[in-house]
Each structure stands twice: as structure tokens, then as C-alpha cells.
Structure 1
């Protein structure tokens, strides 16, 4: 069946098989327009000739009678209309020759494109009777119709009545004049609903092969669309200007002005959009709380920012769902919000908001806040291009907030670092890759005593003592390799002496290389001193354990020697040749006594007995003793103060101190040469001299004792350990001499200084606090005639309890020589049993404290329970101070500390027994 359009001479037409889309028929006009022979068209797929076939297939298969698709012939831009025939097997394509612009056609489309850019246009064709031959679907719908409703109808009837005659007249006049193109005209069509729709038409007259007019074809553009495009183009220019202005403003503003930029942007966009309020909210506390941080209000609109702080986000749950999905919330009419947004609706209506739009602020995938624009005085619908502007603004705001937070964080970090740098008690420094000092914090001066300016731009290694520099240089090399060395303790040259600083170096790398080295140093000088004190305390504890164990036995031995010395002395005449040897034995015994005394002093087992002493007299006493045994080649040169120097001291300790220093001086001289000089000086320091020594500034009167020799001297390394217990440079030394000196001086808050040059000699200076004689008057000694022992024979019976067999025998021998009867017993339990059986026969008891089974103190208490009148002598080689104090509270008990002089014991026996 041949379709109606195939018979047309002015319209091109192709009939095709609907399933395969194969051309089965073509009219002459189509061949002319396509410029092809019949065999080049028939049997071909219609896709050969049509553009956009992806859209036609599905719509053709709906078997609709409507024009299903408007497209163009390939390469010709000729409008094409397609429809399905009634039998549903065939389709037809109809097209006309496109009007060609010329001088008379006003260059319609190019002109419009210059104004509004690329536009879409519609097409229609009609015969001389006004019957519609073809029309684009879009044009039909703009008039309120479907295409099949207008095909074949008089299209001129859709034009306003008063313009119909003008169009006919213009068509006929131009047709008779053989003019193809009509002037561009504005034509008003009537919409199906009665409203008028303005179009601009560019038309041409259609002729057949004999040049006879057969109809008209026109290109149509909706005038409202042109106006909208012109407005949109103007608006686009405004948007581009706004975006450029905002971007420039943020780019050129420092971080502290970014808040002003945000406020200005809210104003710019708010005024452009014609809204009443624009604002920014930021979330905190894991999106639980939101704060209104920025706001702009149009004139006459009351600000709300003060009322919108610390709001719980749970107040707007519906709102939050959209924001968390990073979706824009566009509310053209608040009153139309759904029931699930009732909470938001109530809040918005309280602020008289009619419309609003909210755009989320997101950093990556994280929601950080939102920007909003409210319309209070009228409702507003936001166009897509305006929403795009808000998206851009949102992005700019997020970038600025990130920048601001980053710069604030950096500034805060810098401020905290600077604060830490300035107030840190530890040394903080920065070195360049050459090890030179770039920066030092104030702790440097506090730790070292040096001014910071003195060491800037100087190698840090110059601060390190010579012995530690090689290790520091190795650590620098490790840093330059990009590695961090372990911390290390270095000795640093301080203004008033060495400091021990625990240093850690950290390389700060740039492009894989250490550009600067960051260092932290902690002053551990005090810690080292405390550690040394702890080690000293531990050593003293060990000494104490040792002292308590050996003092008793060693003093027993000394007592045996002293007793036998007394026996031999009494037996020899003063002019005997053996008398000198006997005196040497006596000196050895004294040295043994001093050794035990030192041991107990260090172990805090023996409390000093402080009395007021004349320092010069004590010096003279010690020197006189030394001169008896010191070679005459060693000379004592004394320069003692004419002013008497009173000190509060333990007499044994001060003599011990002077003796030990002089003995060391003698050994130092002998190690260098046979002869030498020991110089001893004393003087009272002036107030100015006292103030110059910081450690003595709180003491009003100070005496100086100096003991100097010209011996071998002491090197720096040895000086560090001089006062350590058991440290000695002598093959047979105990290492207790100088440690006793140190302890004694420190106990009275004195101070010691050492000056020594190896090969030239040493000088020990002792700064000793002075006291007034009135604090403890020196007791005048009453010269009494020494009593000679009296032999009592069997008149006095003594109970002797001593576990040391040799000592017991020696004491028994001495007591027997003086006429006393002695009952020897070796244990406490045996002594108690004996006493219980012979209590009335005993005149006096001599008990050793450290006896087995029952100690002397316990035995004495049991004896006194039986006989209160009995006098008891308690002897001991070592007693704890607490035990001594308890014993001394009893008048019936007399304490003798070993080693004691046998004459002292005998004198006490004579006095007591005489009184009895």
C-alpha cells in the first residue's frame, strides 16, 4: 500500500519495514533531496540516512500512530518525521528540503546564536491551504497538542485571528513575486488552553518542479525561550563575576581575615539571590553539637546568631539525614514540609522562614557543617545554576576553613613549641648540618651558666669536655646519615664546673638529607650526685654490716695486746733497751683502735661526742706525736693563727682527720724524694672571704685549716675518688683515712677544697664553722694523785664472764696480780647458774656484752634482780647507740668499751671497792 506522502511532490518520503528497518519505497522528491538513485536507497537500512537511531527503535516498536521521532538526515540537518502505518508492519519517514539562509533571510539563526548562544528550534511545513504537512513534536507540545491531532489540519487557525490575514497576504504576495524567503516575523499562536505563545518565524515558500508554489516551510523559535536565554546569559555573567570575586577575595586574604571573607561572601550571595538571611553552622563533638559561626542579614531582618549556639543536632533529625548523605536540602515552601520533618518545620516557622536551601560543608567524606539561605518575606525557588553557585561557595568555605584551621594549628603548634622552648627546664638546641649552634633556649644559661650569645654560630662540640668529644662527633655523623643515635651522657663545660647532661640528637630531614639537628639535653648532674650518694650509702651499709661483725672480735684482740703491753711495761724499767720496741707496739695498738673507730663512724655505729675544742691545740698534739716517729728529713712548718680558733667537734675525729692528712702527706713526700715539708696553716676568715664561697654564705664565723705538702701530687682522675671509702693508692692502705675526713667535715656543714699539681704537691683546705667557748665551757681538770693499786687478796671476789679465752686469761692474770680472786666463766647461761648458787660471795661482776646463750646486758639485768647492790662492769667491743643509751641509764652498771686501758679498770675497782 502506497502511503499518502509517497505521492507528494514537495515532501520527501521513505517507507520502511518496521522489524528490519529496511527501505521498501521512496518517492522522487526524496531521491532529489538525498541526491541518490533508487537502487542506492531501496533495500538499505534507514540508519544509513538518519542520525540518532538509538532513540527511534524502541519508540517505533510501540506501533503508535503519532509522530514518534524528530531527527535529521545525516549530513543535511534536514528535519525528519517518522510514523507507523495502520497495519503495524510499515513505517514512513517524511522530510522536506531545509530553508537555506541568504541575504533576504536575515541570517536568522546566526544572529540569535550571537545573542543567546546555542538554541534549539522547531520546524513546520504546510500546503497553500494551510494544512499541516509536518511539525516537530516539541512545537506541537508547546501549543498543547500531540502531532497526530494537528496533521492535515489548518495550522493557521492556531494563530491569533488578527494575524492570520497578514500571514496569508504576505505568503501570496511573495509567491506571486516568485520570492522564496519571507521576512522574519513575530507570530502569536494560541495554546490549546487559550493562552498566547509568541514565536519568531523564518519561513520560505516551497515550489514544485514547475516552479509553482505548493506550500510553506518555517523555522520557529519560542520568543519566551529567547528572552530566558538572554536573561540566563546575563545571569551567567553575573555568576561568573561573583565566583571570580569570591575566589580572588579568599586567595588574597590572610588566615586571620578569612572570617571577614566568609561574612562578605554570605552578603554577596545573599544579595544576589534576594534572600533575607545567610549563615554558616559548624559541627563539633562528633556532630552532636552545632554552632552558628557566621551570619548575614538583609536590612530589617533580626540577626539570630547569638541564639543559635551550642544547639544539639538531634533537634533536626530529618535535616541531618540529608546532610549525612551529602545532599542539598531545598525547601521552597516550609509549610509543605512532610510530617517526619515536624521538628524542623516548627523551628523554621518560629523564625518566620518561608523558604530555604542548605548546602552541606564536607571535608572529604566527613561532614563538618552547612551553609544556609533563608527567605523570610517571600517564598523562593532556587534555580539549578544558583544551586551550582552555592556548591562552589561551599567548596570555597571548606577550603578556607581547612586553611584557617591548618594555619591556626601551625601557629598554635609554633606558640606551644616557643613556650616549651622558653620555659622548658631541659636544654633545647638546634644545630646546622655542620654542628654549629643555630638556637639555644634559656635553660642553656641556667644549666651551664654561659650566656647564650657567646655560643651562637659556634660548634656545639666546644661545649663538650675533651674526653667526650669523639663520641659526640660520632653521634653527629649518625644524624647526618638520617638516623637518630641513642641518648648519651656528656660532660659539658659549665661556668662553675662540669655538668653532666643526657643528650639526645634528632635529625630533621629535607629531601632525604639532615638539614638541621634538633637536640634535647637534661641536666643529670644532681642525679649523678644522688646516684653517687646512693652508691656511697650502699657501700656504707656494707661497711656497717662488716663493722658490726668484726668490731667485737678485733677490739678483743686489741684488748689482749693492750693488756699484755701493760704487763710488759710494768715489768720493764724505763731505761730498758726493749722500752722503745714496746712504744712501737703501743702506737700499732692505737692505729688499730683508730681503724675500728673509723669503720664504726662510717657505718654510723658510733656517735661522735661533740665538745668545744681549740683547733690549734689539737694540731699541736697530733704534730708532737708524729714528730716522734717521722724521719727528721720531713719538716713540719706550722703557721697557726694567733687568735684562738674554737670549733665544736669530736676530739677523736678531729685528731684523726689531722693525723690521716699528715700521714698521707708524709707518704706523698717519700714517693717523690727523701725530704720535704708539710705546712699547716690556720686563720680566721673575714666576712668578705666567707661571702665569696657560696656554700658558706649562711655561716657567720669560719676558720680555715690548710695542710700542704710538696710531695708527688694527685692527678685529676684520682681526685674524683679521694673521699670514697676503701679507695686507696697505697698497697697496704685501708682507703678509710680521707673518707673519714670527708664525713667529719660534712657532718659539721664544713667545706673542703683540693688543689694539686702532679709532681708539685697538694694542698687540702678545710673551712670549718667556728663556735664560741661559752657554748660549752671547757671543764677544768683537777689534778689528783694517781692511786696505786692495792692488793686486797681474798677480800674481793670477781665474777668474770668473757667468751674470748685468751682475753679471759689475760684479765684473770692481771686481776690476780693485784690480789683479786677471779671466777672465770665463758657463757651467759653458765654464769647465771653460778651466780644463783654463789650470789652472796660475789663482790663485783665483769661481764662481756657479746657472750653466748645469754648476752651481758640480759645477764646483768637478771643479776640485779637478785642483788640490787651489786656493781657490774659491762665491756664490749661494739654496741649499738640505742643499747648503749639503755645501759647508761643504770647507775649500777659501768660501761667499758674495748680496747680499754687495764689501769682504768684497776682504778675503777679500787675506787668502788674502797667505797664499799
Structure 2
């Protein structure tokens, strides 16, 4: 008997040792006293020692269980006490000492019963399955986010160009809601990446929009930011307050918007940076795993493709519109040229026929001959304009510079303008004013005189053509190696929306075939092209029904500077 007792004691000692040192959590519940005994491993799973839980009761264990799992725990333990249900397995969350929740798996069953079969004790194991649960959770999350990105990519397939902005905004909303982001946005660059605009934005509940404040921003203000984006690198800032000194400008703006964390991913097509997509966290810090950043780059790539397609489509639409407009312009040009050529030809042929048939009184022969001469001269001018269209191809134009004095150029221009006005029948209604500056008149420089004269002649012809009465003013100046001519008239002027069109070939302010002014509409276009060849600029300022001012600016090489003059201007009025 004594020997048997020793064996039992030895076994109990072994079991107690195993209970204390086991690498799995072990628990024992006495249903009569409601006391729960646990080993060190069980206690360590939730951040305690076994000594801290030496007085653990079932009620305390139940309170450690997550509220959502308490019903499962109670039902599982109760079921084990019923006949035919001796074992159980379930998973529940227990509260860790640090306040977090630990996923555990509980296995157990009835370990002791009385003679009537009523449960006296339950025993079992407790296993930490947090890593397994987290792995499954991560796998499910990875599947969902990949489905999200795949769905966003599908949304962009086959969309119409006008739908691009709408689909981009939808993509921002989907990403923002799935990742619990406070604000998602897109910035696009313009003007060779010197300016950026906030073009798209989605904000979570309670988050204020910043879009209207983030327009027309110089990218030079964000040197630290742009340095990384230009290398097509993403920017992840876990804590804005910890940004480096180099990012002081960016840090100040982000703090003003109360941003805690953010991720910025470049939007680029091939290696062409187009903008960036950003994600702001305002309420709390957000960590961005590399896998998530990689998927966000896929979204950015999808948006880049959409933007690139939109740009190309807009270019094609503009090209189509330009081609259609070109066809219309050419049709108008052909109608105009038909009218402009036929009119003087009819005069020449008609009056010549009358002279040939001797049907004109001798005293009127001179008048008819004069009409034939003027019609022939008009026809010659039209033919010259048509031939000058060759200047549309810059490759055939050569610049031939010569040394000439400013006063010599002025006298050439004055002679041309005086002659043109006399030939126009407007000499009595238009007053000519000449204002060459002394610095211009007394200097010598290297220029292509013939090309400058060609431009000036076109400007003077237009000034006379479109001025019924009033003043035409000629100014010439030399400032900082730039030669400037200003032709100002008090004519009909040009409407604001027409002021750029007049420099296109075959265009006038009035393109209709019944317009009041002759000409085929190439003079200003040729002048603009020649000016470009000379490295200069030709501009216009005009008010309809008040007049126009054309300014020709040409860079020159000064050979001899003008002597200091007493008077600032030399005015000549004809």
C-alpha cells in the first residue's frame, strides 16, 4: 500500500513538472470552486506570469475574453458538460497585459466527473495562433487590395476621353475608402514641370478639401520634393514633424494642413514625369508596407496611361479641327484669289477691248489707260503675294546682313510710305508722323535690310489699307542691341479674338468673300515668319474702331553707337 502511494506521488510530481514547464498553455477549471489553474506558458501568452494569475477565477477568465467571443466561450464550455459532448475546440481573443488582443485556440474537455456523471473539472490547452491568424488576415487583405487595383485598371479600359477625370476621381475614392486614407489627390505638372495643379481630390468624412488652395504652384518651391519625383522615386513620410531640414518648405505646408503621414507616388509615362498621386493621413499615423506602395504604383501607372491617352486624343482632335479649319481657310482663300484675280483681269481685258475697237472718245483714252495701268499694278501685287508664299518654308530663306546706318533705313521707309500714300488716293485724309530716335538715326549696325524693309512695307500697306482717315505714325528706336519699329494707325482696329489669327496664312480679320478690303491675307503671316527667321518678334495691340499698333523688334549687332543727342526725338510731320 505504501509502495502504491509512492508511485502515485511520483506520477503527480511528474505531471506537475510537465504542467509547469510545458511549451503549450495548460489550464484546469474546477467547476465547483470556479478556480482556474494555469501554467507559465498560458500566463505568458497574455503577458502575465503564473504568480499574477494564481487566484484566477472563471469569471476573471471570462472578462479577459473579447466581448465578441464571450458567447462562443460560454457555449463551448457548457456544451462540454452535457452528455455525449466530452471535447471542444474554438478560437477566441484574450486581452493582453498591454491592452492588445491575442488570438488563441482553446482545446479541452471534461477531465473529472462524479459517480453520477456530473462534471467536476474541465482541462485543456491554450495555443497562441496570432501569427497564423495574422497570416490569413494578411493573405485575405492582399487578395482584396489586388482585386481593388485590378478593378481600377479595368475601369480605365475603353473609357471615353471626356470620362477620364471622372474615372480618376472614382479610383481615388476606392483607394481612399479601402485603405482608410483621409485625403487622396492627384497633381499634374505643366509648363515643362515648372508649375503644378491639384486636379483631382477625394476626402474622407470630416476632412476639409485643400484643392482650391493648391493651384498654379511653382515646383521650384518644393526642391526636396521634386528632386525625388524627378528621379521617379516615391516619397513616404511616416511623421511629417520629423521631415529633414532640406524639406522645410514642404514640411510647413503639410503641417498647415494638419497632415501626420503621407505617401506620394510619381505619375509618369515611360520616363516622362507628368505629376504625382498622394495620400494624406490626418487623424493618425499610417504605415505603408512595401507591397502596398508597389500596388499604388500600379494605380499611378494606370492613371499615367489614361492621361497620356487623353493628351494624344486632344492632340488628334486639335489636329483634326486644324485640318478642317485649314480646308475652310483654303476654300476661302481660293474664293478670295478667284475674286482678286478676276477683278483686275476683267478691267484690263474690258478696257483694252474698248481701246482696241476705238469705241472710246479721244479725250477719255488717257483715263482708260490709267485704269488699265492701275488694274495691272493691283494684279502684279497679288501675284507677288502669291509668290512670296515660298517664304513659308524657312529652309529656303537666307539671312544676308549688311552694315547700314539708322538714318539710311529711316529715309528708305519714309520714301516708301510717302509713295504708298500718294498711290492710295488717301493723301488728303491721312497725316504721316515720323519719330525716329537719335540713338537709332545716328547708329550703324549689321542687319538684313531687305527683309526688314519687306516687313515694314507689309505693315505700312496694312496701315494705309485699313485707315480711312486720321494718322499713321512711324517710330524707330535702338535699345540694348534691339532695333524696334512701331507702326501706329487710327484705322478700323482688330477685335481681340482676331489678333492672333491675323498672323496665320490666308487669314484676315474678315474672311468672308464679301469683305470690304482687298488682299489674299498672306502679308502679316509672311512678316511674322521673316521676323522669326531674323530672331525677332512681331506683335500687335489693337482696339476695334480705334486703331492698331504693330511693333517689330529685331536683335542687331551695333557697329557704331550714336553720339549723345540733345533732343530725345526728332519728329517729322508730313
The TM-score bracket by the shorter chain reads: 0.3 to 0.5
Greater gyration radius: 1
Q: TM-score, normalised by structure 2?
A: 0.42
Q: Which has the higher contact order (CA 8 A, sep 6+)?
A: 2
TM-score (norm 1): 0.28
